[in-house]
Structures are given as C-alpha cells and as structure tokens.
Amino acid sequence: MSSVRSSVVRVIATVASAPATPAELLGSIGLKAGVDPARAAQERVPADQYYDLLERATLPDDHGLPYRYGERLHADDLSALGLGLKTAETLRDSLRRLVRYIVLLSDTLEYALLDLPDGGATLTLSRPAHRRGARLANECAFAAVMKALSEAAGSRVVPREVAFRHPRPASITEAHSYFGCPVAFGAERNALVFGASTLATRGRLADQGLSSFLLAHLEELRAGEGERSLVESVHATVTDLLPDGPPSKAVIARRLGLSERTLHRRLAEEGETYQAITARARREGAEALLADARHSLAEVAFLTGFSDQSAFHRAFKGWTGRTPAEFRGSVVEGV
C-alpha cells in the first residue's frame, strides 16, 4: 500500500482551515500529536488516509492550504532528503536528488526531470488526481519543491511556469502568489518549468564532503525501501494508477525501472503473472472502497479502473459471486 511519511502529514495539520485542532485531525488517521521528530520521520500514513486528512483539513472555499503548507515547511522536515537537497552544488543537482530519493518520503508519486533545448528543465509529477485530497496533495508537492529549492538557494526561487492536470479551482490567487509565475490548470501534465540560469544557481550550503556523505546515506536508505518484494511493488503501483484505467505491463515496468521482459520473467520466478496481480489489486481496491459508504458505486467503478458501472458490476460478480451492492450490504450488516 502506498504511503507518506507522517512528518509531512503533521505539517499539513498545523495549517488546516477546518475547525478541528491539529491533534484532532491527526487522531482521525491514527496519529498522536507531539511525538518526537525522529519517530515521526519513521511513521507512515497510507495514501488514502493522507488524502482523507487533506479533505478534512480544508473548508470548501479554502484553496490556500498547499501554499500555507509550503510556507510552514522546512527542509529539515524532510529528514536526510532535505539536507541532501540543501547541500547539492546547484539547484539542478537538488532536483536530480529529489527525483531519485523522493521514495524516502512517499511512494505515492514519481518525479522526472526532463532537459529542455535551451538548457532549462521540466520537473514532472506523476500521481492520480482522482479525488480532492489527491489534487491538494499534488499542489502541496510542488509547493514543497519550491520551498526546498528556495532554502537551498538562500533566496526565493521562481519557476518559469507551473502546470497541474486537475481542473482549475474556484480561486487561483493563492497559487499565483506563491509560485510568482503563470499557473495553468487542466494541463496535459503536472509540471514545474525552470530556466537554465535558475538551475545553475549554486546552493548556499554546497559542500562536496558533506554531500558525498549524505549521498551514501541516502543510497542506503533507498536500498532499504527496496526491501518490498517485486509483487508488492507491482501491486502498489497498479493500485495507484487504476483511476486512469488499468495500466499496461509496459507502464508498470517503466515505473519500476525494469524492461517489460524482465518484469515478466521475475514475476514468473515468483509464481505470479501481471494479469493476476492487476485483477487482485482491482478486487481488493473495490472491496475496500465498497466498505466505505461515502463512495458511490459509480465512484468505486471509476477508482478501480472501469470505464462504466456495468463492466464493474460484471467483473465484481465474477470475482466474488455477489454484486457490488450485495457485497456492500453484507459489510454493513456484518455478514
């Protein structure tokens, strides 16, 4: 199951506009307030609970939470990764480290850094935006990137442009003010675009010796994240991408840094197939969503990658022998 470090989630709770206190918000997802930072850096929050908290933390007309979060966040809240970003030689190097080590904070998203012909680069973010909490999470992610870069540079960093895939919110004043550049919504991809001169900015704490030490430490931590089995990694990645439709084996292989042939071979060695894992991810996701009455049957169908409710109905009955409505009824009645 995809997750986020609680150190990030705890900052979100401090900038909420909802009447609930930070302690109440954290308690709603099973976290205790006031824990030691070292412990918070180790706690993980499932992605859906993270999105739940974002939705609870914002009043309907609140579009500024991601940017209050960005203002409140400090690189130190990102543990070793934060220091790694601050000690990189240039901001381009900081972004390269972010791409490689973001998994230490969250495996709900994926960054890529794409070079531009003029020497600039585009940082893209891949994560579904299937619900309001996920859309807020994507804005929080880019707000955090800009805060980390500004701390690394020692002064405010402004991108050339910003784009989000999700629809335009009722107010974009907060986003424009925070980023200081044009911000587009309903775009083809989530993207931060930087000019060459910005990327060449030297980090104010750039230190080759410290940087080498930190990179070695980050590599150790990243290797530890890899202890999850390939089957678990495939299952988690498929689950994340389902709202955009069942991902192909080629897409999953690319996300995991493997060739499609290698993915097929390694799954076969573990007695698994990609098709079986995908079907299991859809069924388990559907059962979990049906147990939550807040999701309509149409929403459950969409979130598990079905193009329409009738196709979901047929598939679910084939898996369980019961219709989605019958399954939900049995859960409610405790059968």
DSSP string of 231-277, one letter each residue: HHHHHHHHHHHGGG-PPPHHHHHHHTT--HHHHHHHHHHTT--HHHH
Report how far apart, in Å, the C-alpha atoms of 114 and of each of 95, 276, 301 are.
Answer: 11, 34, 34
Of 166-170, 212-216, 265-269, give the range with the top mean pLDDT. 166-170
Residue 335: the pLDDT is 44
Q: Residue 80 — very low, low, confident or very high, per pLDDT cuts 50/70/90?
A: confident
Does some domain include residue 170? yes
Distance CA 127, CA 138 (A): 7
CB contact at 8 A, 242 and 112: no
Residue 117: pLDDT over 80: yes
Q: Residue 331 — very low, low, confident or very high, per pLDDT cuts 50/70/90?
A: low
Residue 303: pLDDT over 90: no
Question: Both 272 and 210 in a single domain?
Answer: no
CB contact at 8 A, 317 and 277: no
Counted domains in the chain: 2
- The CA angle 248-251-254, to the nearest 5 degrees, is 150
For the residues of 104-116, what is the DSSP string, one character each?
Answer: GTBSS-EEEEEE-
Does some domain include residue 150? yes
Question: Both 176 and 280 in a single domain?
Answer: no
Beta bridge partners of 10: none
Question: Both 81 and 200 in a single domain?
Answer: yes
Question: Both 87 and 188 in a single domain?
Answer: yes
CB contact at 8 A, 204 and 89: no
Question: Both 151 and 197 in a single domain?
Answer: yes
> Domain containing 262 — which CATH number?
1.10.10.60
Does some domain include residue 302? yes
CB contact at 8 A, 120 and 113: no
Distance CA 101, CA 87 (A): 14
Does some domain include residue 5? no
Does some domain include residue 278? yes
Distance CA 233, CA 277 (A): 10
Phi, psi of 19 (to 5 degrees): -65, -20
Question: Both 68 and 175 in a single domain?
Answer: yes
Residue 243: the pLDDT is 79
DSSP 8-state code for residue 202: B
Residue 112: the pLDDT is 93
Question: Both 178 and 83 in a single domain?
Answer: yes
- Kindly report the length of the chain: 335
Mean pLDDT within 16-35: 91
Domain end position, chosen among 160, 190, 222: 222
Question: Both 86 and 200 in a single domain?
Answer: yes
Question: Both 325 and 253 in a single domain?
Answer: yes
Does some domain include residue 98? yes
Mean pLDDT within 233-254: 83
Q: Residue 133 — very low, low, confident or very high, per pLDDT cuts 50/70/90?
A: very high
Question: Both 183 and 281 in a single domain?
Answer: no
Residue 228: pLDDT over 70: no
Residue 131: pLDDT over 60: yes
**Better-predicted residue by pLDDT, 306 or 37:** 306
User: How are the residues of the chain apportioned to helix, strand and coil, as percentages rounded to the nearest 5?
Assistant: 60, 10, 35
CB contact at 8 A, 77 and 104: no
- With tokens 């698994």, the residue in question is 272
Domain end position, chosen among 222, 242, 272: 222
Region for residue 234 given its phi and psi (left: phi exceeds 0; alpha: psi -120 to 50; beta: otherwise): alpha
Residue 332: the pLDDT is 56
| pLDDT > 70 fraction of the chain, expressed in percent and rounded | 96
- The CA angle 142-45-254, to the nearest 5 degrees, is 60
Residue 17: pLDDT over 90: yes
Q: Considering only CA atoms, give the Rg of the chain.
A: 21
Residue 213: pLDDT over 80: no
Sign of CA dihedral 160, 14, 60, 102: positive
pTM across the whole model: 0.70
Distance CA 208, CA 88 (A): 8
Residue 69 in tokens = 């979060």
Mean pLDDT within 27-55: 85
Give pLDDT tens digits for 249-291. 988 887 776 788 888 999 998 899 999 999 998 998 888 888 7
Window from 19-28, 103-112, 162-171, 214-223 with minimum mean pLDDT: 214-223
CB contact at 8 A, 277 and 263: no
Does some domain include residue 38? no
Window from 36-45, 155-164, 308-317 with minimum mean pLDDT: 36-45
Question: Both 94 and 184 in a single domain?
Answer: yes
Domain end position, chosen among 195, 222, 249: 222
Question: Both 146 and 270 in a single domain?
Answer: no
What is the chain's mean pLDDT, rounded?
89
DSSP 8-state code for residue 224: H
SS3 300: helix
**Better-predicted residue by pLDDT, 134 or 225:** 134
Q: Residue 165 — very low, low, confident or very high, per pLDDT cuts 50/70/90?
A: very high
Residue 64: pLDDT over 60: yes
Range of the domain at 264: 230-333
